[in-house]
A and B are shown apart, each in its own frame.
Chain A
């Protein structure tokens, strides 16, 4: 089932800045869809349009079958957002933050209390429930903001760089919670600068550059399309201390065999390494810049 559909979406801000141009894609129910791109690439603009917070200039976008421009009220009760750089109210406790955001979703007080406790426990916030937000670490504050969105138990969750400032364990607990949500049928659109995060989570990803689609597909396709599905590192020959390791990107099995044969012949250590999404991203965005320059 298609949960999000975007057709030729474009956004030019009132000042004339073109943030998005001709972007099209769709997201299926239960997917985690990652938006990647450099700073200012248009990720937040796209996310805000889909979360009904910003009007597009051209094209159409549908969330849960409703047009974001024509029928936003039908979408809003079913979505939740973690905005970029959101901060908690310093003089309010984490418990109150989450409880209030649960209550505005229309739950009864007892339901809201129960749900608040569940989300706080899942995100490791329960022991901090009565502290003031000002006394929380940066990571805990970020977890609190995420909890304020998760407490809504939304059908579609929009997260704009949600794990910024979290330690590795905190990031993983958020990943785990996102996976749990998708297993229950929620759909997630996520922007991130952490490519390991996208690699770990994304069912599909969209790389945008200067507002345009630079890549759309799966992580494996991203690596494959750029011809860096595998990297072979050939160490310098023994005794050649000043030599450098060669990093090769074989395109076929024949090329792999040739490299291995050469390594054996020259008594050089050959190691195989799967390409990372980061390498694919740099190549895709780099090519997009080159195309623009020509």
Chain B
């Protein structure tokens, strides 16, 4: 219960943007960004659970020596983070629906891009958590990455605000693609069809690549 309440408070800054932003579409963009990033960070911060279960609590060793399979452990650990973040996502979705500028397809595709982002970053989280050897790094690496993936790239704010020279670099970051797609499906920006296809391909490729990385780095049985 405490975690649910905390998850609502962590969402407070976005609500401020929603209430006080005056630029047209800024509030909706920030809400879309908030949903994409809530999914993303939940995936990324799985690294802490992976690290602490393996190195600190040593629960992973206890679970290996049981009927729990590596797949069910991975799914359970990842989804539990998502469940805790769900109240915040529901508040953002409710505000989006209240804003009136939505379609059912738009909402579904927003959730689809966010889920794809979540899957890719869960893999990143497993790769980091399984290879980190001390608690300080386990806490700081995802925080640094969350700045690079969440607060710097145009997720909360429009890509067009960035100088032209910076925009291609922003497009290297997967969360930019997820946010761009979501904004496109909400009718906030117009992008050509090939960019939409590129965005999905980028997210799928990122998830597949990170899945491969996680399979090489995160071990159920240590080598």
- Contact of B57 with A53 in the complex, beta carbons under 8 Å: no
Given A14-B223, A48-B222, verify A81-B65 contact (CB < 8 Å): yes
- As a 0/1 sequence over residues 65 to 81 of chain A, the CB contacts with chain B under 8 angstroms (1 = contact) are 00000001000110111
| B16 interface contact, C-beta 8 A | no
- Contact of A105 with B67 in the complex, beta carbons under 8 Å: yes
| A87 interface contact, C-beta 8 A | yes
From B56, B59, B63, B68, name the one whose CB has the most chain A CB atoms within 10 angstroms. B59
Query: In the bound complex, how far is the Cα of B223 from the Cα of A51, in angstroms?
Result: 14
From B56, B65, B67, B223, name the one whose CB has the most chain A CB atoms within 10 angstroms. B65
Query: In the bound complex, how far is the Cα of B177 from the Cα of A189, in angstroms?
Result: 53
Closest to A81 in B: B65
Closest to B55 in A: A85
- Contact of A53 with B66 in the complex, beta carbons under 8 Å: no
Determine the chain A residues whose CB is within 8 A of the CB of B223 once the complex forms.
14, 55
Query: In the bound complex, how far is the Cα of B52 from the Cα of A86, in angstroms?
Result: 11
Determine the chain B residues whose CB is within 8 A of the CB of A72 once the complex forms.
221
Given A14-B223, A48-B222, A52-B221, verify A81-B61 contact (CB < 8 Å): yes
Q: Pick the contact of B61: A86, A88, A106 (CB < 8 A).
A: A86
| B209 interface contact, C-beta 8 A | no
Which B residues from 48 to 102 make CB contacts under 8 A with A?
Answer: 56-59, 61-68
Query: In the bound complex, how far is the Cα of B62 from the Cα of A88, in angstroms?
Result: 12
Closest to B69 in A: A73
Query: In the bound complex, how far is the Cα of B64 from the Cα of A101, in angstroms?
Result: 12
Q: Pick the contact of A53: B59, B64, B68 (CB < 8 A).
A: B64
Q: Pick the contact of A81: B62, B68, B221 (CB < 8 A).
A: B62
Q: Pick the contact of A52: B56, B57, B64, B68 (CB < 8 A).
A: B64
- Contact of B57 with A76 in the complex, beta carbons under 8 Å: no
- Contact of B62 with A76 in the complex, beta carbons under 8 Å: no
Q: Pick the contact of B65: A79, A85, A88 (CB < 8 A).
A: A79
Determine the chain B residues whose CB is within 8 A of the CB of A105 once the complex forms.
66-67
- Contact of A83 with B222 in the complex, beta carbons under 8 Å: no
Q: Pick the contact of B66: A77, A87, A89 (CB < 8 A).
A: A77
| A104 interface contact, C-beta 8 A | yes
Closest to A51 in B: B65
Give the contact-size bracket for chain B: 10 to 19
Determine the chain B residues whose CB is within 8 A of the CB of A48 once the complex forms.
61, 222
Determine the chain B residues whose CB is within 8 A of the CB of A86 once the complex forms.
57-59, 61-62
- How near does chain B come to A108, taking the closest CB pair, in angstroms? 15
Determine the chain A residues whose CB is within 8 A of the CB of B61 once the complex forms.
48, 51, 53, 81, 83, 86
Give how many A residues have a beta carbon under 8 Å from the other chain's beta carbons: 29
Query: In the bound complex, how far is the Cα of B140 from the Cα of A161, in angstroms?
Result: 31
- How near does chain A come to B214, taking the closest CB pair, in angstroms? 18
Query: In the bound complex, how far is the Cα of B62 from the Cα of A82, in angstroms?
Result: 7
- Contact of A88 with B57 in the complex, beta carbons under 8 Å: yes
- Contact of B68 with A55 in the complex, beta carbons under 8 Å: no
- Contact of A152 with B59 in the complex, beta carbons under 8 Å: no
- Contact of A76 with B58 in the complex, beta carbons under 8 Å: no
- How near does chain A come to B75, taking the closest CB pair, in angstroms? 14
Q: Pick the contact of A80: B57, B66, B221 (CB < 8 A).
A: B66
- Contact of A53 with B56 in the complex, beta carbons under 8 Å: no
| A149 interface contact, C-beta 8 A | yes
Q: Pick the contact of A51: B56, B57, B64 (CB < 8 A).
A: B64
Query: In the bound complex, how far is the Cα of B62 from the Cα of A84, in angstroms?
Result: 11
Determine the chain A residues whose CB is within 8 A of the CB of B68 once the complex forms.
104
Determine the chain A residues whose CB is within 8 A of the CB of B63 once the complex forms.
104
Query: In the bound complex, how far is the Cα of B219 from the Cα of A72, in angstroms?
Result: 14
- How near does chain A come to B125, taking the closest CB pair, in angstroms? 19
Determine the chain B residues whose CB is within 8 A of the CB of A77 once the complex forms.
66-67
Query: In the bound complex, how far is the Cα of B63 from the Cα of A85, in angstroms?
Result: 15
Given A81-B62, A86-B57, A86-B59, verify A53-B67 contact (CB < 8 Å): no
Q: Pick the contact of B67: A76, A82, A149 (CB < 8 A).
A: A76
- Contact of A87 with B62 in the complex, beta carbons under 8 Å: no
Q: Pick the contact of B221: A53, A84, A106, A149 (CB < 8 A).
A: A53
| A190 interface contact, C-beta 8 A | no
- Contact of A53 with B58 in the complex, beta carbons under 8 Å: no
20 A-B pairs in the complex with CB atoms less than 8 angstroms apart: A14-B223, A51-B65, A52-B64, A53-B61, A53-B65, A53-B221, A72-B221, A76-B65, A80-B66, A81-B62, A81-B64, A82-B62, A83-B61, A83-B62, A85-B58, A86-B57, A104-B66, A104-B67, A149-B62, A152-B66
Which residues does A use to contact B, with CB under 8 Å? 14, 48, 51-55, 72, 76-77, 79-89, 101, 104-106, 148-149, 152, 158
Extra contacts, 5 of them, besides A82-B62, A83-B61, A152-B66 (Cβ < 8 A), are A48-B61, A52-B65, A77-B67, A85-B58, A104-B66
